[in-house]
């Protein structure tokens, strides 16, 4: 049984990290990993009770300071204000942010119901952009910090089984590429994380899952990628090879496959 690693020596890491979308399976593990390294955290989630539970848990386990905020990814008009409040919570100590807001949705439904398709795009792309816009400007003005955002290998190539989700993630990856280009000049690192299948509620009990990685492993990879100021990381790393193969299949052949 995995008890989780003990806290690392305090004082190694500094600063407050903003964790956007903190209650998903992967992001919960990311919040643990950041707290384990001694970061104070501002956590946001749609579900207030869950976000507060996570904040209490991390406080007790790791002795870090945590604050929970309710944030609805689809309430776009509130985002600028919410980000401002989160930045205020950090009391000038904001080191950066990890954003992991996503909605897999039901692809079969999204093919029929354009509102489901819109919800998938709104959550995975629009919401991320409306949250990152004020955050990027703040960090750019400060001239330091990091933004680490969870996209997906699904964005590397559209497949018939989840292309709406894939399209949103492809858009997000492109956005992050451009943002990285812009913020590089002011010393802000933008990291794009491309996880494969991860053992969380998003995949649990669903068909067609393979090479499913434990969320703790992905979280360690994410925090390591931030520490090393990486640009784009596949997690686990072997997905880089898998996606290289998938991207290199000629379209004339790809369209005949059932993926």
Partner 1 sequence: MDGPNLFRSEQLSGWGRFPVERANLYRPERGAEVGRILTTAADPTYISRGLGRSYGDAALNREAGVISHVRLNRFLGFDANTGILECEAGLSFAEIIQVFLPRGYFLPVTPGTKYVTVGGAIASDVHGKNHHRDGTFGRFLVDFRLQIASGEVLVCSPEQNRDVFWATVGGMGLTGAILSARFRLVPVESAYVEADYQKAPDLDAALAAFAGSDEGYRYSMAWIDCLASGRSLGRSVLMRGNDAPRERVRAPDRDPLAPPAKRALSVPFDAPSALLNRFSIRAFNGLYYSSHRDATGRLVDFDSFFYPLDSVGHWNRLYGKRGFVQYQVAFPPQTAEGGLRALLERLSGTRRASFLAVLKRFGPANEGLLSFPFEGYTLALDLPGASGIEEFVRTLDDLVLRYGGRVYLAKDAVLSPESFAAMYPRAQEFVRIKRRLDPEGRISSSLARRIGLAG
**Residues tagged active-site:** 165
Given the complex with partner 1, which of 105 and 145 has the nearer CB atom? 105
Considering only residues 3, 141, 252, 253, which one is a binding residue for partner 1 as defined by CB under 8 A? 3
Query: Nearest approach, Cβ of 105 to partner 1 (angstroms)?
Result: 7
Residue 49 found at the interface with partner 1 (CB under 8 A): yes
Residue 72 found at the interface with partner 1 (CB under 8 A): no
Given the complex with partner 1, which of 32 and 69 has the nearer CB atom? 32
For the record, the structure tokens of 228 come out as 């090393």
Residue 50 found at the interface with partner 1 (CB under 8 A): yes
Considering only residues 8, 60, 115, 212, which one is a binding residue for partner 1 as defined by CB under 8 A? 60
Whether 197 contacts 210, CB under 8 Å: yes
Residues 74-133 contacting partner 1, CB under 8 A: 103-106
Using CB under 8 A, which of the segments 11-19, 22-30, 172-180, 222-230 binds partner 1?
A: 22-30
For residues 172 to 211, the per-residue mask of contacts with partner 1, x marking binding by CB under 8 A and - elsewhere, is ----------------------------xxx-xxx-----
Sheet holding 146-150, edge to edge: 66-70, 40-45, 16-20, 94-99, 146-150, 189-195, 232-235
198-205: Cβ within 8 A, 24+ apart: 198/25, 198/26, 199/25, 200/24, 200/25, 200/26, 201/24, 201/25, 202/24, 202/25, 202/102, 202/104
Of residues 25, 22, 72, the one with CA closest to residue 43: 22
Beta strands 189-195 and 16-20, pairing class: unpaired
Given the complex with partner 1, which of 95 and 213 has the nearer CB atom? 213
Distance from C-alpha of 214 to C-alpha of 54, rounded to nearest angstrom: 19
- Name every residue whose Cβ is closer than 8 Å to that of residue 152 and which is 6 or more positions away in sequence: 102, 165, 166, 169, 194, 195
Distance from C-alpha of 97 to C-alpha of 199, rounded to nearest angstrom: 23
Query: Nearest approach, Cβ of 75 to partner 1 (angstroms)?
Result: 17
Using CB under 8 A, which of the segments 35-43, 49-57, 168-176, 220-228 binds partner 1?
A: 49-57
Query: Nearest approach, Cβ of 25 to partner 1 (angstroms)?
Result: 6
Query: Nearest approach, Cβ of 174 to partner 1 (angstroms)?
Result: 24
SS3 153: helix
Query: Nearest approach, Cβ of 180 to partner 1 (angstroms)?
Result: 27
Of residues 228, 240, 222, 174, the one with CA closest to residue 21: 222
Considering only residues 15, 57, 133, 240, which one is a binding residue for partner 1 as defined by CB under 8 A? 57
Please report, as ranges, the residues that interact with partner 1 according to CB under 8 A. 1, 3-4, 6, 23-25, 28, 47, 49-50, 53-54, 56-57, 60-61, 103-106, 200-202, 204-206
């Amino acid at each position: 049984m995995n008890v989780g690693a003990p806290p690392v020596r305090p004082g190694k890491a500094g600063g407050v990290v903003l964790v956007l979308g903190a209650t998903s399976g992967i992001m919960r593990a990311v919040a643990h990993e950041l707290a384990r390294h001694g970061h104070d955290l501002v956590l946001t989630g749609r579900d207030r009770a869950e976000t507060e539970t996570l904040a209490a848990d991390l406080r007790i386990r790791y002795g870090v300071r945590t604050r929970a905020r309710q944030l609805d990814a689809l309430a776009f008009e509130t985002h600028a204000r919410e980000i401002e409040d989160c930045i205020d919570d950090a009391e000038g100590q904001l080191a950066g942010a990890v954003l992991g807001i996503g909605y897999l949705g039901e692809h079969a439904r999204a093919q029929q119901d354009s509102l489901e398709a819109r919800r998938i795009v709104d959550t995975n792309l629009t919401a991320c952009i409306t949250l990152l816009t004020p955050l990027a400007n703040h960090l750019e003005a400060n001239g330091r910090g990091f933004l680490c955002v969870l996209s997906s290998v699904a964005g590397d190539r559209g497949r018939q089984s989840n292309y709406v989700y894939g399209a949103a993630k492809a858009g997000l990856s492109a956005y992050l590429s451009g943002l990285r280009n812009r913020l590089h000049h002011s010393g802000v690192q933008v990291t794009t994380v491309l996880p494969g299948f991860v053992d969380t509620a998003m995949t649990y009990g669903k068909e067609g899952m393979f090479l499913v990685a434990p969320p703790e492993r992905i979280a360690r990879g994410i925090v390591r990628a931030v520490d090393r100021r990486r640009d784009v990381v596949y997690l686990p790393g072997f997905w880089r090879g898998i996606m290289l193969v998938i991207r290199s299949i000629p379209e004339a052949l790809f369209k005949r496959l059932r993926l």
